[in-house]
A and B are shown apart, each in its own frame.
Chain A
């Protein structure tokens, strides 16, 4: 590496550490200050949840801005308006650790299905509970019903059909859970294709491994898929879920290719 490149990588590694620290500590701080205050000021559970999710949204917006200001990343979003409607199931591919940060930064009020481990992590435990996110634990049946019920009440939900981050260089692999939730709720689906190049914060490398040049995140929000399109009334939900899962696979594989993904 040239000296200037090495310096750039060095500085970005430092900035990455700073970002992770501010994320973790910021989350803890909010959990003992702003979030409990919002809860106290709210007359009911639902109002508290909405306000806290809105606070999360602004916090993540600031966080994304912080990372951009530190020169850590650049990003572009296409079709953001489609994310702002209520009761939508937002479905995205999952290349990096911070995909959900971008999505929440784009949506003022949204639920999330979150892996169980975050409830045990001391940094993320507070925020995920205050924000009323849904843990991916216990019985699948319960999870699907809880998620579907929220959607039917007009609450949007973010879910990654892959279930975990994509493995770089491998074809995408979709699990059926997201489609199951969509079918149960008969929700309208908003697909978001996330391209991160050069790939970073992936499953394949440690978080502190910073790429050679500054990565760019491109989020492309696709056209809404209505329940009538993917779930004909007489079709059993088990079949709807299978067809929809296959659709997610081809949709994301094709849209990533169209965006020029080098995976």
Chain B
């Protein structure tokens, strides 16, 4: 079971890798769309990346209400332990 800090770190890494976002901007309160410029298509790419990262199937619906970085962390944390060993 990953801690929220661990999830935040991995999420930040994914955000930098996928979107080249300035790491300094990736705070828990950062708004995905308004602060980080992540649009609806980016969200799809992000969900795919998170599936890889967590080793769990993620339903797009569980991300419907996600607005900030901490929302994402909460959503991933709520999924629980990975079903298969997750990719690093």
Q: Which residues of A contact B (CB under 8 A)?
A: 139-141, 144, 176, 180, 236-239, 241-242
Q: Which applies to chain A's interface (DSSP): helix, strand, loop or mixed?
A: helix
Q: Is B44 in contact with chain A by the CB < 8 A criterion?
A: yes
Tell me the bound Cα distance from A140 to B40 in angstroms.
8
Tell me the bound Cα distance from A241 to B19 in angstroms.
9
Cβ–Cβ contact A141 & B18, under 8 A:
no
Report how many residues on chain B are interfacial, defined by Cβ distance under 8 Å: 10
Residues from chain A with a CB closer than 8 A to the CB of B19 are 238-239, 242
Residues from chain A with a CB closer than 8 A to the CB of B17 are 236
Cβ–Cβ contact A236 & B40, under 8 A:
no
Q: Could you tell me the distance in whole angstroms from the C-beta of B9 to the nearest C-beta in chain A?
A: 19
Cβ–Cβ contact A238 & B42, under 8 A:
yes
Q: Could you tell me the distance in whole angstroms from the C-beta of B72 to the nearest C-beta in chain A?
A: 15
Q: Is B22 in contact with chain A by the CB < 8 A criterion?
A: no
Residues from chain A with a CB closer than 8 A to the CB of B18 are 236, 238-239
Q: Is B74 in contact with chain A by the CB < 8 A criterion?
A: no
Cβ–Cβ contact B45 & A236, under 8 A:
yes
Cβ–Cβ contact B45 & A238, under 8 A:
yes
Residues from chain A with a CB closer than 8 A to the CB of B20 are 239, 242
Q: Is B39 in contact with chain A by the CB < 8 A criterion?
A: yes
Residues from chain B with a CB closer than 8 A to the CB of A176 are 39, 41
Q: Could you tell me the distance in whole angstroms from the C-beta of B61 to the nearest C-beta in chain A?
A: 15
Can you offer 13 A-B residue contacts whose CB atoms are under 8 A? A140-B39, A140-B40, A141-B40, A141-B41, A144-B41, A176-B39, A176-B41, A180-B41, A238-B19, A238-B42, A238-B45, A241-B41, A242-B19
- Residue-wise interface mask of B (3-23) relative to A, using a CB-CB cutoff of 8 A (1 in contact, 0 not): 000000000000001111000
Tell me the bound Cα distance from A102 to B40 in angstroms.
32
Tell me the bound Cα distance from A140 to B44 in angstroms.
11
Q: Could you tell me the distance in whole angstroms from the C-beta of A243 to the nearest C-beta in chain B?
A: 8
Residues from chain A with a CB closer than 8 A to the CB of B41 are 140-141, 144, 176, 180, 238, 241
Which chain B residue lies CB-closest to A237?
A: B45
